[in-house]
Amino acid sequence: MYRILTRKSLNPSVTMIEVEAPRIAMKARAGQFVILRADARGERIPLTIAGCDRARGAVTVIFQIVGGATLSLDRKQAGEEIADFVGPLGNPTDVAGVKKAIVVGGGVGCAIALPVARRLKELGADVRSVIGFRSRDFVILEEEFRAVSDTLDITTDDGSYGERGNVCAPLKRLLDGETFDAVYLVGPLVMMKYAALTAKPYGVKTVASMNPIMIDGTGMCGCCRIRVGGETKFACVDGPDFDAQLVDFDEAIMRSRTYLAFEAEARERHCNLYKKEVRG
C-alpha cells in the first residue's frame, strides 16, 4: 500500500496528489510514468510523473477525472492509501545538450510538460514555455511554469485568459524570432499535430510525448501502439517520446476516437457527481 501525503484540487476536474514511494522517487526522471490502482478492485491508471521530492520520498502525479477509476482515486484523501503504484516506466525525456528549448503543454498535458521544463532549467537551459487551455477555469500550474521558464505564454480557446487562440501562434512567434535546439510537445493529439506542423519549416528537433490508452505498461497489450516513421511502436516501452515529425498523428487521432465519446460522457457525468458529492 502507498500512502497519499498531500492532495490538491487544481480545477473542478483535475487533482494533484503526492504519494509516498521512496524507491520510485529516487529513480524517476522527467518523462517517465507510473501505473497505479486506487484500490484492490480498481482499474490500472497510467499517469506521468509530474515531480519528485527525493528527500521526502514523494512522487507527484496529476490526473483528470474521466471515469469511475479516477473518481475513486480522487475521493482518496491525504493519509489514506492506494493499492498499487508501479514505476518508473517508459524512457526519460532526452534533454542532453539542449541549451535553448520551447516546451509546449496543452490542458492536463501541462502536468507532463512541467517536469521537462523543470529539468531543462536545472541543467541551465533557456526555457520558453507555451501552455494552452480551453478557458480560464481550466488553467493549471501557471506559477509552477513561471518558476522554471524564462518566458511564459498562456492561451485559451475563448480568450478568457491570456492570448485568445491555441498554442501555435506563440510557438510560431518564438521560432520566427530566435533559434532553438528543441521543441517539446505534450497535450491533446490534435494540438501536437498542428504544433509539429508549425515547427516543421524551421528544421528544429521536435519531440512529442505520446500518451494514448495504456493497460499493462510493458508492451504486451498493444493498446498504446502508434506509427512512427512507418513502423509500429509502443508508447509504453519505446516512448513515450518520439520524433514529432515522424509520428502518424492522423492514425493516432482516428484510433483515439474509439474512446472519445465515452470519455466525454464519463467526464461530464463524473465531474458533476464529483462537484456535488466531494466538493459540495
User: Residues 57-70: pLDDT tens digits?
Assistant: 999 999 888 777 88
160/233 same-domain check: yes
128/248 same-domain check: yes
Helical segments of 41-167, H only:
68-74, 110-122, 142-148
Residue 260 inside a domain? The answer is no
pLDDT (0 to 100) of residue 210 = 87
104/75 same-domain check: no
Q: C-alpha angle 56/76/269, rounded to 5°?
A: 135
25-76 residue pLDDT tens: 999 998 888 988 888 888 888 888 988 999 999 999 998 887 778 888 888 9
pLDDT (0 to 100) of residue 213 = 62
79/156 same-domain check: no
110/84 same-domain check: no
The whole-chain average pLDDT of the chain stands at: 87
Residue 263 inside a domain? The answer is no
pLDDT (0 to 100) of residue 265 = 56
CATH number at residue 189: 3.40.50.80
Separation CA 178–CA 219 (nearest Å): 39
pLDDT (0 to 100) of residue 86 = 87
- Looking at the structure of the chain, the number of domains it has is 2
139/246 same-domain check: yes
pTM comes to: 0.84
135/175 same-domain check: yes
Residue 138 inside a domain? The answer is yes
Residue 60 inside a domain? The answer is yes
6 φ, ψ (degrees, to nearest 5): -140, 160
Residue 153 domain boundaries: 100-255
121/192 same-domain check: yes
Separation CA 136–CA 52 (nearest Å): 27
22/119 same-domain check: no
Instruction: Give the pLDDT mean for 143-154.
Output: 96
Q: Please answer whether residues 32 and 80 qualify as being in contact, where contact means their C-beta atoms are separated by less than 8 angstroms.
A: no
Sign of CA dihedral 67, 69, 70, 75: positive
| Helix, strand or coil, per DSSP, at residue 192 | helix
Pick left, alpha or beta for residue 162 (phi over 0 → left; psi -120 to 50 → alpha; otherwise beta).
Answer: left
pLDDT (0 to 100) of residue 274 = 47
pLDDT (0 to 100) of residue 54 = 93
48/178 same-domain check: no
31/133 same-domain check: no
195-234 residue pLDDT tens: 999 999 999 999 999 876 666 555 566 677 888 998 888 8
Residue 75 inside a domain? The answer is yes
Residue 152 inside a domain? The answer is yes
CATH number at residue 32: 2.40.30.10
Separation CA 50–CA 8 (nearest Å): 13
83/121 same-domain check: no
As a whole-number percent, the residues of the chain with pLDDT over 70 amount to: 88
